[in-house]
Every structure is written in structure tokens, then in C-alpha cells.
Amino acid sequence: MRQTGIAIMMPDMIKDPFARLGLDREVLTVSQLNGRARVLLEDVFSSIWVEGEISNLSRPASGHVYFTLKDSGAQVRCALFRQSAARVRQALKDGLQVKVRGKVSLFEGRGDYQLILDTVEPAGDGALRLAFDALKAKLSDEGLFSAQRAGMRGLPYAFASHFAPRYMHEAIRVYRNHFQPSEVLDKPYVMLGVPLSAADT
């Protein structure tokens, strides 16, 4: 079960940083500052979930994946290294809403902090769409979107006709000669279906 929030126990050195680290007396170099900041960030934010939208996606030849995760008010850089990227199932692209898990780190050379990720999952409608597309592709590969195949397996399906009334009985006769008989509805109904390719007639 995933936590809906993040509860963080702050180390003593963060509660009273100057006293704990002796920074009220010590003068740090920039490298020392960034090094200590990286250690603190990685300790406090060692494994967190963040949701946002992918932008500025980059896939260099190294196999790593880099992108910016953003919302309406802020953004953060993310790095997904090759081994972790290989475990991501869905195709990542700009504009995709995702949930990511990783640790906060700091690139000491620039003083920029970033998320080092180990997991990327679709979020919200994106997750439902990917699940639907995967199921649709599986059923299509099995031929279950074919009315004839569905009839052979005894599955329910519908025949929608655009014929004029005087040709309706002939259309139904031809249909029933080629497919398993099914119920005839006497008036239009709203139905949920999937796009199908038209067969030769």
C-alpha cells in the first residue's frame, strides 16, 4: 500500500544546523557546501513519490533518460539511469502525466538538485489509457475484435446496419447465414463498442 503523504523525521543536524555542523565558526568551500548538502538531501529524501508532467525528454546514446518533471508552479530535473530505464514498460514522452519514485540528490558541480529515479508509472487518465490500449492490443492479436471469431466463441457482439428499411430483412438474412444468430433490436440503442474494419461485401 502506497502512502498518500510523506512523513519525514528531520535529522538533528537539520533542526539546528549551525550548532550541529559548527557552521557558525567554520568557513566552507563551495565544494564542501555542495557535498554536505548532497548528503543531507539523500538522507532525508531517500525514497519519495512525486507526480507531475514530463517535459524536455532526452535519450542520449548512453541509454540513460533525462527529463524535467513539472506542475503548474514548479519543476525539477530527473535522471533515469540505463538499468532503471530498461524496467519502464510504457513509452515516455513529453506531456505524459506520471508518478515517479526515487531519491533527491545534488549535482555538486553545478549546485543543482535533481531526482534520481528507479520507478516511473503513468498517473491518472494516463494509467487507464495505457491499460486499455494494452488490453485492446491483446484482444486484437487474438482476433477477438472480429465479429465472426466472436460468434464462433459464443461471445456477445452487435450488428449495426445503415441499410434503408426495405433492405433491412435481406441484410439480417445474410448476416444470420454467416454469423451465429443474435437478438434483433426494434429501435436504436446507445452502445459502447470499439472501431472495427469493414469486411468485404
DSSP 15-65: HSHHHHHTTTTPPPPHHHHHHHHHHHHHHHTSSEEEEEEEEEEE--TTS-E
For residues 119 and 84, the answer to whether their CB atoms sit within 8 Å is yes
Model confidence pLDDT, tens digit, residues 140-165? 776 655 555 555 555 455 555 555 66
Which neighbouring-strand residues pair with 100? Answer: 50, 120
CA gap 125, 130 in Å, rounded: 9
Which of 185, 34, 169 lies closest to 105 in space, CA to CA? 34
Residue with cell 471469431: 149
Q: Where are any strands of DSSP class E within the chain?
A: 48-58, 65-70, 75-80, 97-107, 112-122
Residue 6 banded pLDDT, cuts 50, 70, 90: very low
pLDDT(43) > 60: yes
**Over the stretch 84-137, which tens digit does the pLDDT of each residue have?**
998 888 789 998 999 999 999 999 999 999 999 999 998 876 556 666 777 777
- 138: pLDDT confidence band, cut at 50, 70 and 90? confident
pLDDT(7) > 80: no
Domains of the chain and CATH, by start? 12-122 (2.40.50.140), 142-178 (no CATH)
169: three-class secondary structure by DSSP: helix
